[in-house]
Amino acid sequence: MTTVLDGILDGVLEDLAQRQREVSLDELRARVADAPPALDPLPGFRADGVSIIAEVKRRSPSKGALADIPDPAKLAAEYAAGGAAAISVLTEQRRFDGSLADLDAVRAEVAVPLLRKDFIVTEYQLWEARAHGADLALLMVVSLDGDQLGDLYGLARELGLMPLVEAHTEAEVARAAEIGAEVIGINARDLTTLQVDQSIFAKLSPLIPDTAVRVAESGVAGPEDVADYRRQGADVVLVGEALVKSGDPRSSITKFRAV
């Protein structure tokens, strides 16, 4: 049966093929060779209290349009001023209205670690992420079969990228732990159906090795949700919709961090 995720990945691969025709892997390798070292997100993620990954997110497949963001760099600057430990930039075009240009703009503006948030299923996309200034890259266990997860994880680390390895089931958490993931995210949203179940984090968090950073993703509407995730063991909470719709992202992050 075809899932929502299958449809998204089909579009991702079509757009990727176009970018590969325009920019060779050799060109990306040259850019990476000239790039400054990646920033290490772990000190921020392991700081006292709960850390926030703030997301630049215009729309989503489940909610449609979320916010008009004509200047992602300006929004990112507000996130950084509010104390975000990292900033997530959506680069998927068809369903999220994101782009690598957004990542470039944010990288030029802020000095905090950046996560490339996309459906990464090829080595080329990791080279892209590093070439455009990302310090972290999302690897979703659900979309990576067999040895793909371990292979992409290994390349990411070679490039200096810290993978955020995302899981939604016990089996996916086990796969993340098996490859030695240092940052493991539990997404309350099932990407095959787009349904959200906030209880998932509490169920799966205890399965994450104590050596890994625990990230809670999806389902945050306000500080009370961040507080719940923190009580359930989250070191970091990724927040998108609640921030882009808040009207005052800087103070919102401050409130989230104070729970």
Q: Which of 57, 78, 143, 252 is catalytic?
A: 57
CA distance 38 to 133: 8
Check if 241 is active-site: no
117 in catalytic set: yes
Instruction: Mark whether 217 is an active-site residue.
Output: yes
Decide if 218 is catalytic. yes
Residue listed under structure tokens 């921030």: 243
Q: What are phi and psi of 217, to 5 degrees?
A: -125, 140
Which residue in the list 60, 187, 205, 252 is annotated as catalytic? 187
CA 53 from centroid of its chain's CA atoms: 8
Instruction: Please say if 57 is a catalytic residue.
Output: yes
Q: What is the pLDDT of residues 40-87, one digit of tens each?
A: 999 999 999 999 999 999 998 888 899 999 999 999 999 999 999 999
- Given 60, 88, 143, 218, the catalytic residue: 218
Q: Which residue of the set 51, 117, 128, 143 is catalytic?
A: 117
In the set 92, 128, 217, 241, the catalytic residue is 217
Catalytic residue among 55, 92, 128, 182: 55
- 222-255 b/e with 16+ CB inside 10 Å = b? ebebbbbbbebbbbbbbbbbbbbebeebbebbee
Q: What is the pLDDT of residues 165-220, one digit of tens each?
A: 999 999 999 999 999 999 999 999 998 898 999 999 999 999 999 999 999 999 99
State the CATH number of the domain containing residue 189. Answer: 3.20.20.70
Q: What percent of the chain has pLDDT over 90?
A: 94
SS3 213: strand
Per residue in 235-247, pLDDT tens?
Answer: 999 999 999 999 8
Q: Could you give the CA distance from residue 197 to residue 186 in angstroms, rounded to a whole number? A: 11
- pLDDT mean over 153-159: 98
- Torsion angle (degrees, nearest 10) of CA 76, 149, 185, 52: -20
Query: Is residue 1 over pLDDT 80?
Result: no
Please write the tens of the pLDDT for every residue from 102-146: 999 999 999 999 999 999 999 999 999 999 999 999 999 999 998
Structural domains of the chain, count: 1
pLDDT of residue 95 exceeding 90, the answer is: yes
**Token pair of 42, please?**
């772990």
Contact 237, 216 (CB under 8 A): yes
For position 205, what pLDDT does the model report? 97
The one catalytic residue among 166, 172, 182, 241: 166
CB 184 within 8 A of CB 213: yes
What pLDDT, on a 0 to 100 scale, did the predictor assign at position 61? 85
Hey, what's the torsion of the CAs at 234, 235, 236, 237, to 10 degrees? 20
pTM of the model: 0.96
Question: What is the torsion angle, in degrees rounded to the nearest 10, for the CA atoms of residue 169, residue 174, residue 180 and residue 183?
Answer: 20
- Does the annotation count 246 as an active-site position? no
Residue 161 reports pLDDT greater than 90: yes
187 is catalytic: yes
* Residue-range definition of the domain harbouring residue 207: 4-257
* C-alpha dist (Å) from residue 232 to 147, 165, 183, 251: 31, 19, 16, 24
